[in-house]
Amino acid sequence: MTDPTLELARRIMACPSVTPDDAGCMDILGARLAAIGFSLEWLDRNGTRNLWARRGTAAPLFVFAGHTDVVPTGPLEKWTSPPFSPEIRDGKLYGRGAADMKTGVAAAVTAVEAFVAAHPEHPGSLAFLLTSDEEGDANDGTVAVTEALQARGERLDYCIIGEPTSVDTLGDMIKNGRRGSLSGVLLVKGIQCHIAYPEKGRNPIHQAAPAIAELAATEWDQGNEYFPPTTWQISNIHGGTGATNVIPGQLEIKFNFRFSTASTPEGLQQRLCAILDKYGLEYEIKWTLGARPFLTGRGPLADAAVEAIRTVCGIETELSTTGGTSDGRFIAPICGQLLEIGPSNATSHKIDECIAVDAPAQLSAIYRRILEKILLA
């Protein structure tokens, strides 16, 4: 007998939903949810497909969140099999979205189907928050839904996002938080002049060099129980006209902080500017706060997840906050407890993206057991 989670994953993986196109995924998923009593609310914005589906009105509210969009395939000729024709071979499911994150979405749907079938009068409420704008700019996706929910005072008690979090085997790592992201564009001003007469100008590259060295060597914090230390990295640097006989008039540096709950955006901004001021630089900075850090400590949801993974997979999971940002940054402000639990991240965004063929069924079983521990306890 074919596993229902594997079949649903393959069905939506066949939809070429390159961000921000949903390509019919949510029509398939919405129909499945409506069939078990969910009311569907479409919150599309600027061409992005967004679905808020809810079953019940009682507390607590347990939500599964995820995205149906995928990154572009890259060169088709480098794929062993077509990226939108899911294929099973050598014990793995291949296709774009296998890991990130159509398996997670499919597993959540089948877990809820099984849970509702076994407990039709279950306590609390269930919901799904789905978007087709996570891999792109993410301006009209999950944030549009959370803004709508916040505007009407609708809060989430528990949320699981099916992003790929595992490393070597399903369940070996889950995310109980994410670092914040603070970016800046630094413009250091100098005075352009002929390179043979440096006394007539001011070289912003030379001026900025010792400040850059100090910024790179600074310990911003030591992290904490859940987060590694904050990091500061330069991503782009540009100065000069292209000519070899001109001292440039300005230097542009793009940088990024990945920061933990041990620091604040305001504190990092102040400390960075103090270092620049120490070296007498004339400068401007444009700041962009991409995400604040969020964290779910030990509690009912984390405990339920640890127990479910131990039961289904026979391993002890690791709670981690490593990696980049996720849509959890938009959900966390209106949610009591949030975790990311999904398949292996080893091939996400790669050519021949794949997961173990037994991962969909196992992930669905993990989700169902968590539901039972939270809503039926």
Residues annotated as catalytic (active site), given as ranges: 69, 134
Three-state SS for 63? strand
Instruction: Give strand pairing partners of 318.
Output: 173
Task: Respond yes or no on whether the N-terminal peptide bond of residue 26 is cis (omega within 30° of 0).
Answer: no
Pairing mode of beta strands 283-291, 180-189? antiparallel
Contact 30, 68 (CB under 8 A): no
Q: 75 Cβ partners below 8 Å, 6+ apart? A: 351
Instruction: Name the H helices within 224-377.
Output: 265-278, 300-313, 328-331, 359-375
Whether the bond between 60 and the residue before it is cis, its omega within 30 degrees of 0, is yes
Q: Using CB atoms within 10 A of its CB, is residue 38 exposed (0-12), middle (13-18) or buried (19+)?
A: buried
Residue 259 tokens, joined: 């920061």
Reading the block at residue 295, the tokens are 């964290």
What is the DSSP secondary structure assignment for residue 110, as one 8-state letter? Answer: H
Dist CA 314 CA 317 (whole Å) = 10
* Residue 101 DSSP label: I
Residue 264's identity, in one-letter code, is T
H or E stretch including 54?
Answer: strand 50-55
DSSP H/E element including 214: helix 204-217
What is the DSSP code (8-state) at residue 230?
Answer: P
- Name the token pair of 126: 């269930």
8-state DSSP, 248: -
**Tokens read off for 312:** 């289904």
